[in-house]
Structure 1
């Protein structure tokens, strides 16, 4: 698939100036570089009704709290009880944070008419697998149990996330299904990583020069999963789960020129085969990461609006 001209322009700029890639930096440099990119190329922040920081206690008090940020859409009345979207940010389980995703979560709240909870799960290598998985599930469990405090309807919730955050969305849905817990109305999966050890063609076709290089993928995987035995754990590679029936409907956003694109399609297919309702939207010529870069890509604005409306429809009364 040919690159979109705007995607090519971005890649030409990145590679021309010799910007260091993730695997060429230490983790602190990589986090700073990721944040700079998000701040430089994200749209202007839209107004919302309110923004509230929410400390969520971890399972053990000694482990402190998971910080989250709750956004209520501009149209929401102060006393309205809203459906909730849990948003898990991308960044290979190693980079990314609430400030980097502030604009996106504001947009999703306004487009969907729902509250959005952005979850600042713990990052590797300081907190390797399954730290992020545990935080994601704890954030969901606690929030639903404290729905009155948050002003949300515990019976109406959805998961959304990009890249590593999309993976956390799939895994959390699987965990809730396995435990007989409450079911989300939708899994909104933006180019998730579904198979760490994948050898599908897109991994080779887009291995180098398409933003998410093979070396950078390996850098993320090695930091998140220092024990290689965990690479085949379904909580890291959800396509390896034993069964996929009984899961919430799933909507995928796929970037056409993404090394993970075939893995996304493969996961969509196993869900379909298990009887799960699946919708796939592919943005031709886009690269991994485009979703949050709305100042640079018009397709990002289209994808964000599509995402917000899909969430709003799924969570309508």
Structure 2
């Protein structure tokens, strides 16, 4: 395997156990095939944990017809904001089932109602479609606060990877639509925050991870280019690249999880810089030596770092709610 410099020992042991380095490469159809193949290898090698029965779920649809899954932890007494969750997968892969365990964990750790959104995937659905679908799901949640037993008119937005971009974009659209006073904050895990061609000139010297970690992580630089192309958004669109949005201060409190050997490392670091400059309250956990989505593979080699990752997410949720 090429490029092992600086990678954490547990990850290198996992790669050896898994049998290859996961590093997506275009064309787009091949990337989908590669990811599907690796999922099959993981299913044959590892036992994925059974769904946590202490978190109740209900599948339903919004008025628009978008499928959502509502997660409610045992013992939930209400009076907390609803938490929207947008899954990862480069806007082109994944669904609410693939990240069911994450949603359950967030609901349990935060003692909050989580709503996971099954948005339409790229390339059939472009940025504007995904934006509208995610935003309308949020509006549905706010309109149904009594049914959900959540604090009326209050919400948190969360997401993983490409879902992190959707979380930032949804929150910023809510601010632009006059709902900023209802936003509590965001929980973003390894988020996409800016198109590589949209990085402001003054920040380009700090945007180096796309090249530095191209060979270290599942989301290679070419893969990210492929996902952006499928997403179909201008590099300087202020929702597509939320780092560029002029009203970041309205996001209030933001938790970020960032991986050190990820092409998206600087997406997270630059967003934290911009949020701090805007006057937001931020908290970040940084995972030196780990690539993108390391916490998604149920190998014993990764048990301890994954356990720490989710413990930190729990603290991040509490930070946003405090």
- Measured against the shorter chain, the TM-score band is 0.7 to 0.9
2:66 pairs with 1:66: yes
Structure 1 residues 120, 20: CA separation in 2 closer, same or farther (over 3 Å shift)? Answer: same
Structure 1 residues 55, 278: CA separation in 2 closer, same or farther (over 3 Å shift)? Answer: same
How far apart in 1 are the matches of 2:227 and 2:260?
A: 21
C-alpha contact (below 8 Å) 1:156/1:184 kept by paired residues? yes
C-alpha contact (below 8 Å) 1:113/1:312 kept by paired residues? no
1:127 Cα deviation after fit? 0.5
Which of 144, 147, 150 is the equivalent residue of 2:148? 150
How far apart in 2 are the matches of 1:38 and 1:161?
A: 23
- Per the normalisation by structure 1, the TM-score is 0.86
Partner of 1:223: 230
Structure 1 residues 295, 44: CA separation in 2 closer, same or farther (over 3 Å shift)? Answer: farther
How far apart in 2 are the matches of 1:293 and 1:162?
A: 15
Structure 1 residues 204, 315: CA separation in 2 closer, same or farther (over 3 Å shift)? Answer: same
How far apart in 2 are the matches of 1:176 and 1:34?
A: 37
Deviates more, 1:87-96 or 1:236-245: 236-245
Partner of 2:260: 256
Partner of 1:285: 289
C-alpha contact (below 8 Å) 2:23/2:217 kept by paired residues? no
Gaps of 5+ in 1: 59-64
RMSD between superposed Cα atoms in Å: 2.5
Structure 1 residues 42, 161: CA separation in 2 closer, same or farther (over 3 Å shift)? Answer: farther
How far apart in 2 are the matches of 1:42 and 1:272?
A: 38
Aligned residues: 304
C-alpha contact (below 8 Å) 1:294/1:301 kept by paired residues? no
How far apart in 2 are the matches of 1:38 and 1:149?
A: 38
Partner of 1:185: 184
Partner of 1:239: 243
Q: Secondary structure at the match of 2:164?
A: helix
2:149 pairs with 1:125: no
1:162 Cα deviation after fit? 0.9
Partner of 2:106: 108
1:69 Cα deviation after fit? 0.3
1:43 Cα deviation after fit? 3.9
1:117 Cα deviation after fit? 0.7
- Per the normalisation by structure 2, the TM-score is 0.85
Partner of 2:52: 46
Q: Secondary structure at the match of 1:231?
A: coil
Structure 1 residues 53, 153: CA separation in 2 closer, same or farther (over 3 Å shift)? Answer: same
Which of 274, 293, 311 is the equivalent residue of 1:305? 311
Q: Secondary structure at the match of 1:153?
A: coil
